[in-house]
Amino acid sequence: MGRRGAAELESRVRTVRESRGLSQAELARLAGLSRQALSAIEAGRYIPNTAVALRLAQALGCAVEDLFAPHTSARRRARVAEKSPTGRVRLGRVRSELVAWPLWGPVAAVPADGTVTGRTGPRATVALLGGAGEPERTLFVAGCDPALRIAGSLAEASGRVRVHWIPTSSAAALQAVREGLVHVAGTHLHPPGDPEGLNTIRHALGRTPAVVVSVARWVEGLMVRPGAGIRTPEDLLRGGIRVVNRQPGSGSRVVFDQWLRGAGIPGDALEGYRRELCSHLAVAEAVAGGLADAGPGVLPVARSYGLDFLPLAEHRYDLVVPEDLVDWEPVRVLLDVVAGRRFRQELGAIGGYDPAPAGTSRRLGGPTR
């Protein structure tokens, strides 16, 4: 078919194919290729020989030069997903758009694909670093469950995908899916009146059809410093008791605020209520490190840090995937991991998870299996 090592050529096959409205399977059939071969060409892992390049050009109604061109520089234009104090980024392609996620905070130690050298509005020029990963097989997953990092590592072991986990709140993750910044969002938003969370997801995504895949059930509540003796909302009003909070839009914050409202206690009456952190892990670290006596979180994380835990609610954690991305290979690899035995074993070893629903999926209109 061709040869490995396409670093000197840029493949534009996928961009042209999508502009023609063709699926990968349709173009592979028209060009007389296997889908796997076409995937390798689109990802730039193979340079096709002349005959294959001509068949692709004929199927797409364009010139060969429109499909393959020498890299003019080691720079790319990308849409930057969020503001950041650093210019280091990871690159991935969400549909036809190249997206750059900054590497800071909990993911600061992840190897970068490049650095931002210039920016105009939401778009930036990214200078690639040596050994940069392949954006075409990079899967962006946003959500607050630390188990997503485990699922990503298991998926990467297949050699078919690179997973970048973005630890963020459920509301922010759903917004990122809606805006085309990530492929998969994790959520555990189950407000009163929406016990399954599906109406909340539908409202967050707008017109974007999606499939909802369950990961596990977990207990949400208050992570407490051992010996603090916190059992009721009124205990948080004792002198010297300090709390730390999650940001608005997180599932744990919703549960915490509902618990306080039920007791008639305004959040601002608590010392530290406005100190908002971006993840369950950050809250647990603050409590375990003595910077706070309690904070909202989930049982698996509390156990991992040796904290006491006050249960307040039990909810399901779900993954939300836009319908048009469900059959994309990197997404399928991740979903297969979530439904697999090894991932269930990992959740069982951590404790605090009920993995029984793992892999169960439904469309927003009702169950699919």
CA distance 184 to 143: 9
CA distance 284 to 296: 9
Element of type H or E holding 80: strand 75-80
CA distance 53 to 9: 13
Q: Which one-letter DSSP state was computed for residue 108?
A: T
Question: The tokens of 37 are what?
Answer: 């071969």
- Identity (one letter) of the amino acid at 79? R
pLDDT averaged over every residue in the chain: 92
**Residue 245 Cα distances to 45, 142, 283, angstroms:** 45, 20, 7
pLDDT of residue 211: 97
At residue 320, φ and ψ (nearest 5 deg) are -120, 125
pLDDT of residue 120: 86
The per-residue pLDDT for range 54-94, each reduced to its tens digit, is 999 999 999 888 888 665 558 899 999 998 888 999 999 99
pLDDT of residue 355: 95
CA distance 230 to 225: 9
Encode 327-362 in three state secondary structure: CCHHHHHHHHHHCCHHHHHHHHHHCCEECCCCCCEE
pLDDT of residue 352: 95
Grouping H, G, I as helix, E, B as strand and the rest as coil, residue 291 is coil
How many residues belong to the chain? 369
Where are the alpha helices (H) located in the chain, listed in sequence order? 13-19, 24-31, 35-42, 50-60, 64-67, 147-156, 170-178, 198-205, 251-262, 280-288, 299-304, 329-338, 341-350
**Residue 128 Cα distances to 78, 83, 195, angstroms:** 11, 19, 45
pLDDT of residue 191: 85
Question: The tokens of 301 are what?
Answer: 């994380």
Mean pLDDT, contiguous 10-residue spans, the chain (369 residues): 52 85 93 91 85 93 82 80 91 96 93 91 90 89 96 96 96 96 96 88 93 97 97 97 96 96 97 96 97 98 97 96 96 98 96 95 65
**What domains appear along the chain, each with residue ranges and CATH number?**
2-70 (1.10.260.40), 73-132 (2.40.340), 134-369 (3.40.190.290)
Question: The tokens of 216 are what?
Answer: 């596990």
